[in-house]
Amino acid sequence: MDNEAPASDDYDSPWKDAITRYFPEFMAFYFPLAHGEIDWQQPYAFLDQELAQIVQDAELGKRLVDRLVQVSTRDGGEQWVYIHVEVQGQHDANFPERLFTYNYRLYDRYRRPVASLAVLADDGENWKPTHFVYQLFGCEMGIRFPTVKLLDYADQIEALLADTNPFALVTAAHLFTRKTKGDPEERYAAKWRLAKLLYERSWDKQRIIDLFSVIDWLMRLPTELEKRLMDEVYTLERNVTMPYVTSAERFGMEKGLQQGLQQGLQQGLQQGRQEGRQEGEAALLQSLLARRFGALPDDVRARLDKATVEQLESWAINVLDARSLDDVFDQA
C-alpha cells in the first residue's frame, strides 16, 4: 500500500460551506432554542461583506469561520444573528473577548440585537467558554453566549449516525477524524461507513454531493486508500444510479487531465498553430475547473483565454490538489 501520509486535516472550508448550504439544519441541531424563535418562512441572508468590514476594523488577527446572518423572528421583529464557528484544533484564550468585541461592534453599527453563538471543535475537554465580563467601580460589562462542544457528542456516535439532520453526520465526521488521526485504515473504514449512510438516507443528489464534500475534506486519506474508496463509491453509485463527484473526481481527474492535455497537444499539432494548442488546453482547464468548483467567474474565463500554454499546464497540475480557485492560480 502507498505509504503516503494523509493530507493535513482541514476544519475551515467544510464547516463554512455546510453552514451556508444548510443553515436552518445547523441551527436546529446545535441551537434548537434559537431555531425555534426564528421565522423560517421568511428569507434569511448571509452578510459577508458587512461582517468582513467589522472583522477588519476589529484588528484582532487571524479569524476562522465567522458568519453573520439576518433573520426574522417569530414575534415579528428582525434581528441580526452572528454565528461564530470555532474550528481550530486548540483552544484560544482570547476567544470570549473576540466574541464580545465582534458583538458590540455589530450592535454599535446596526443598533439591533446580536446573538453570538459558538461551536467549539478543539480537543480540550475542560475548555468551554461561555462569557466575557469585566467590572470597574460598580460598572459591569460583558457577554454570555451559548456554546456547543463537539467533544460532548463523543459518546453518542451511533445516535449521530441515526440522526437525519445533516449536521449529525458532519459532527460524526469531525469526531471520526479526530479519533482516527494517525490510523489511515480505521479512517478509511469510518469514511466508507459515512459515505454509505449518505445513500441510505434517500436524500437528493445535491445534498449527497454537498455532504460528502464536507466529509471528504475532513477525512483525508493516503492516495491508495482514496483509490480503494473511489472503487467502492463507483460500485455503490452503480447500484443506486446516482452520480458522485468529490472523492472519486480527485483521481478520475488525473487520468482525464493527462488524456485531455494529450488531446489538446495533438489538436495543436494537427492545426499546425500554437493558438490551437492554447485554445484546446484552455477549454480543457475551464471544464476541469467548472466541474471541480462550479460556474466560473468571467475574470477567470478571461484569464484562461489570455494565458500561455505553459501557464495553463502549470494551473492544470495545481487543480489536482487545490481546494479553491485561488489555490489553482496562487500555487507556485
58 and 106 inside one domain: yes
Question: How many structural domains does the chain have?
Answer: 3
Place of cell 452503480: 238
Cα gap 55→173, rounded to integer Å: 29
Taking residues 47-69, what's their average pLDDT?
Answer: 65
122 and 189 inside one domain: no
Cα gap 174→215, rounded to integer Å: 8
Range of the domain at 200: 155-248
Taking residues 100-116, what's their average pLDDT?
Answer: 86
pLDDT at residue 86 is higher than 70: no
Within the chain, where are the H helices?
A: 13-21, 23-30, 32-37, 48-58, 95-110, 157-162, 166-179, 184-200, 205-218, 223-240, 246-271, 274-293, 298-306, 309-319, 325-330
Q: Percent of the chain having pLDDT more than 70?
A: 72
253 and 219 inside one domain: no
Confidence of residue 45 (pLDDT cuts 50, 70, 90): confident
pLDDT at residue 270 is higher than 70: no
Cα gap 177→187, rounded to integer Å: 7
Asked whether residue 7 is assigned to any structural domain, the reply reads no
More confidently predicted of 254 and 240: 240
Longest dimension (CA), the chain: 84
Task: Say what the pLDDT of residue 253 is.
Answer: 46
Mean predicted lDDT score pLDDT of the chain: 76
**What is the bridge-based pairing of β-strands 114-120 and 78-86?**
parallel
226 and 262 inside one domain: no
Nine-digit cell string for 9: 486535516
* pLDDT tens track for 112-140: 888 889 888 888 888 899 999 999 999 99
In terms of Cα–Cα distance, which of 141, 154, 247 is closest to 192? 247
H or E element that contains 85: strand 78-86
117-121, 198-202, 252-256 — which is least confidently predicted?
A: 252-256
Do residues 214 and 18 touch, judged by C-beta distance below 8 A? yes
pLDDT at residue 71 is higher than 70: yes
From 248, 270, 292, give the residue that closes a domain: 248
Task: Say what the pLDDT of residue 2 is.
Answer: 41
In terms of Cα–Cα distance, which of 69, 5, 46, 21 is closest to 170? 21
225 and 244 inside one domain: yes
Can you tell me whether residue 201 is helix, strand or coil?
coil
**DSSP category for residue 73:** B
Cα gap 266→130, rounded to integer Å: 63
165 and 209 inside one domain: yes
241 and 257 inside one domain: no
Nine-digit cell string for 125: 475537554
Place of cell 486508500: 225
Place of cell 503516503: 4
53 and 95 inside one domain: yes
* pLDDT tens track for 140-198: 999 999 999 999 999 999 999 999 899 999 999 989 988 888 888 999 999 989 988 88
Task: Say what the pLDDT of residue 332 is.
Answer: 44
Measured from the Cβ of residue 172, the count of other Cβ atoms closer than 10 Å reads: 24
Place of cell 483552544: 91
258 and 231 inside one domain: no
Asked whether residue 15 is assigned to any structural domain, the reply reads no
244 and 305 inside one domain: no
Radius of gyration of the chain (CA): 23
Asked whether residue 25 is assigned to any structural domain, the reply reads no
Taking residues 270-281, what's their average pLDDT?
Answer: 56
What angle do the packed helices 23-30 and 13-21 form, to 10 degrees?
100
- Which residues are registered as beta bridge partners of 144? 131
